[in-house]
Amino acid sequence: MNWWPIYGLKRRLTERTAYGSPVTVGRIPASRFGRSLFVYVIDVGSSNALNFEIDALESPQYNIHRFGIYMTDSPRHADVLLILGRPVKAMIGPLEETIDQIPRPFGIIVLDDCPDNSARLHYADLPNVIAEFKGVPDPSQLLGILINCLSVNRK
């Protein structure tokens, strides 16, 4: 097998595509998300497809870092909270605690992968919701939403 850098460069994995947002993305007043966006992901009751799509979003085809988009390990470092799924009762408390920890200003993006299922609780009165998507967006759609959160478009 070729030396790693040669193997990787030959594959030319990163796409050169324009990513549009499938939903309208709001703006947070006094938002300073100019050139970078740190995203914290929380699963509150998804069916797991959304978790897999987040992993797929981090693949070289999308190469999200070139847009200044990073996944963060702590809500304390986050600009945007990405909520996966409709919360089960047990996760309402942890969700509220997480929102309390995010420094202001921040935004919330909600991905509701089971909108037809009314058996579970609806979202609490969430602050600063800037985008909501019903269903499972594929990574290109999700990337379009995140890019639209930035006020400066990097390519």
Binding site residues, other proteins, CB under 8 A: 1, 4, 7-8, 11, 13, 40-49, 51-56, 58-62, 71-75, 88, 90-91, 94, 97-98, 113-114, 117, 119-120, 136, 138-139
**Please, what is the minimum distance in Å from the beta carbon of residue 37 to other proteins?**
16
Burial class (CB in 10 A: 0-12, 13-18, 19+), 10: exposed
- The partner residues of 129 in beta bridges, in order of sequence, read 108
**Please, what is the minimum distance in Å from the beta carbon of residue 64 to other proteins?**
12
- Nearest residue to 137 via CA among 149, 145, 127, 126: 145
CA of residue 85 relative to chain centroid, distance: 12
**Which residue number, 17 or 151, has a Cβ lying nearer to other proteins?**
17
**Please, what is the minimum distance in Å from the beta carbon of residue 52 to other proteins?**
5
Angle at 143 between CA 137 and CA 98, to 5 degrees: 80
**Please, what is the minimum distance in Å from the beta carbon of residue 71 to other proteins?**
8
**Which residue number, 27 or 97, has a Cβ lying nearer to other proteins?**
97
**Which residue number, 22 or 26, has a Cβ lying nearer to other proteins?**
22
Are residues 132 and 109 in contact, defined by beta-carbon separation less than 8 angstroms? Answer: yes
